[in-house]
Amino acid sequence: MARQKITPFLWFDTQAEAAARFYTSIFKNSKVLDVTPMVVSFQLEGQEYLALNGGPRHQFSEAFSLLVNCNTQEEVDYYWTRLTADGGQESMCGWLKDKFGLSWQIVPVQLSRLLGDKDPQRAGRVMQAMLQMKKLDIATLERALQKS
């Protein structure tokens, strides 16, 4: 089997396997591929990742995040609830940190269409609505676009 050209490589203190098992329990079509004392390989929705037990020297920051495209509000709710479980932290505008400190963006696919509306006032209303939210709410964003 050919390896993908680019693989995200995530540095954990000592929790690489726990993180991989946590993530694969959330996403369908996902599995842990290999576990060694230092490196765990796993797939989420067919995308391969490597997780390193590298020690406490480097921490995650918001400079790197994983974006999850969601087709429905139910999907947004599902991923938001599971990724913030057991000590995860909500942030603003669809961002969160999971219990391992990794940043995620849980984003409805409709957002780019709403923010890209040809009428700058309508798009601006969507942006203002989004800036008030932690978990994104599709219906509220759609209503913001339609306000007169």
The DSSP line for 95-140 is: EEE-TTS-EEEEEETHHHHHHT-SSHHHHHHHHHHHHT-SS--HHH
Band (pLDDT 50/70/90 cuts) for residue 2 is: low
Report the mean per-residue pLDDT for the chain. 96
Grouping H, G, I as helix, E, B as strand and the rest as coil, residue 20 is helix
How many Cα neighbours within 13 Å face the side chain of 104? 25
**Does 133 lie in the same domain as 143?**
yes
Average pLDDT over residues 125-132: 98
**Does 79 lie in the same domain as 138?**
yes
Domain range enclosing 40? 1-58
**Does 28 lie in the same domain as 40?**
yes
Whole-prediction pTM: 0.94
Residues β-bridged to residue 69: 107
- Which CATH number belongs to the domain containing residue 143 in this structure? 3.10.180.10
**Does 144 lie in the same domain as 76?**
yes
**Does 53 lie in the same domain as 124?**
no
Residues in the chain: 148
Domains: count for the chain: 2
User: How far is 10 from 102, CA to CA, in rounded Å?
Assistant: 9
The pLDDT of residue 138: 98
pLDDT, tens digit (0-9, with 9 covering 90-100), for 52-111: 999 999 999 999 999 999 999 999 999 999 999 999 999 999 999 999 999 999 999 999
**Does 112 lie in the same domain as 66?**
yes
pLDDT for residue 1 is more than 60: no
